[in-house]
Amino acid sequence: MIVEIKGINKKFGTKPVLNDISFSVKEGEIFALVGPNGAGKTTTLRCLYGELKPESGSINVFGKELCTPLKTGIAVMTEDRLTFRRFKGEDYIKMWKMLYPNWQDKTFNSFSVHYRFNMDQPVETYSMGMRTLFNLALVVSSNADLLILDEPTQNLDPVIREEVTNILRDYSVQKGKTVIISSHEIYDLEEVASSFAIIFEGHVLYTDSIDRAKEIHRMVSRNENIDDGELIGLVNDEILVKTDKNIGRYANFKEIVLGYLQGKKAFKPFENSTSDNQINDSPFTL
């Protein structure tokens, strides 16, 4: 495992934000952290790259406890695309070259030509989408073994989003590097990620490879008899069930994510209705 997070807890003041978060990421995979706004994705990533210290739990990266020397193997795109005041493109390149021993000028130049970065303009004055692309160019050109990307396709138009998705897939597949992405774009993620964790209110609801998750989740209609399996949540008019039985139809990635999130939102009424396998839909105004 290239990343192993075990039981991390984090509070801001007295407010618990991460509760016993655990998941692991294999070398060479694209791992997606999905969840609604405020679920704790960014906070988890900030703990992972060492910007925040959890109160308890452990974080291992490249098989060791996270420490400063390991950080040359990790390149990060933060959610706010943090830029230094008055720093121009060239200034960033000088800085990133010093930080990352395997920096690739050729890769950065391809990005720069393709997206027409104005290297003489302070990056803080780029549009939000251009800042995202500039940050993406930096992290990919770093050639780091682990990329941590917070919402990497935010503010991008659909065509460029697709392009970025392909770039990240190539980074992982062709170079055998690991990428961790936090995102709301579950359609994009299904195409690119191989494993994922669903985070809700600071808890991991479910983590697995996408292939295995699809194998063990089915969509069944409300009036279907479910003798064996765990009812997870309601998705439109169907129920997501975790089971190894051949019932209903296979669930896609979006349905799996929605099932867990919807189920947990309205969990009590759903639980109460499981005893007789009747899903009372009135509490589920989704």
Question: Counting contacts by CB under 6 A, is residue 40 touching ligand ATP?
Answer: yes
Q: Which is nearer to ligand ATP, 39 or 256 (CB)?
A: 39
Question: Counting contacts by CB under 6 A, is residue 81 touching ligand ATP?
Answer: no
141 vs 180: CA distance, rounded Å:
16
The side-by-side arrangement of strands in the sheet containing 3-12 is: 15-25, 3-12, 56-61, 64-65
CB of 43 to ligand ATP, least distance (A): 3
Burial of 127 (0-12, 13-18, 19+ CB in 10 A): exposed
Question: Counting contacts by CB under 6 A, is residue 132 touching ligand ATP?
Answer: no
Q: Which is nearer to ligand ATP, 37 or 282 (CB)?
A: 37
Question: Counting contacts by CB under 6 A, is residue 187 touching ligand ATP?
Answer: no
Element (H, E) at 122: none
CB of 37 to ligand ATP, least distance (A): 3
Question: Counting contacts by CB under 6 A, is residue 17 touching ligand ATP?
Answer: yes
Q: Which amino acid is at 9?
A: N
Instruction: Choose the stretch contacting ligand ATP; rule: CB under 6 A; options: 32-40, 124-132, 217-225, 246-254.
Output: 32-40
Instruction: Choose the stretch contacting ligand ATP; rule: CB under 6 A; options: 23-31, 39-47, 63-71, 172-180.
Output: 39-47
Question: Counting contacts by CB under 6 A, is residue 54 touching ligand ATP?
Answer: no
Backbone angles phi, psi at 133, to 5 degrees: -65, -40
Q: Which residue has the tokens 């943090």?
A: 82
120 vs 146: CA distance, rounded Å:
29
CA nearest 276: which of 217, 231, 215? Answer: 231
CB of 122 to ligand ATP, least distance (A): 26
CA nearest 180: which of 74, 286, 260? Answer: 74
**Binding region for ligand ATP (CB under 6 A):** 12, 17, 35, 37-43, 79
